[in-house]
Amino acid sequence: MQNIRPSAELRNKYNEISTLCKETREPVYITVNGHGDTVILSLEQFNQMQAELELLKMLAESEEDVRNGRVSSIENTFNDIRKKLDL
């Protein structure tokens, strides 16, 4: 169930809202005059979301490389790495 709170509670009950975010690991939606305005996440959840987005971006770029033929065999890749490391 979504946690929806009016903006006045953010001001008056910040500690409660912060604890709720941390304990439930869910966002809290803040409304102003009955309309959605802001979403609050714990720092841990925000960092996890950012990491997941970065991973999805990398996967999308990799899929594009495969579609466009910008790939190399594992053998060639390791040979290139060995050359760069002078092994």
Mean pLDDT of 50-55: 98
Please say whether the beta carbons of 31 and 56 come within 8 A.
Answer: no
Mean pLDDT of 38-54: 97
pLDDT, mean over the chain: 95
pLDDT at 48 over 80: yes
Number of domains in the chain: 1
Tens digits of residue pLDDT in 59-75: 999 999 999 999 999 99
Q: What is the pTM of this model?
A: 0.72
Mean pLDDT of 19-45: 96
Q: Which two tokens stand for residue 46?
A: 């925000």
Q: In CATH, what number is assigned to the domain containing residue 16?
A: 3.40.1620.10
Amino acid 87: pLDDT: 74
SS3 per-residue string spanning 31-75: EECCEEEEEECCHHHHHHHHHHHHHHHHHHHHHHHHHCCCCCCHH
**Residue 9: inside a domain:** yes
**Residue 11: inside a domain:** yes
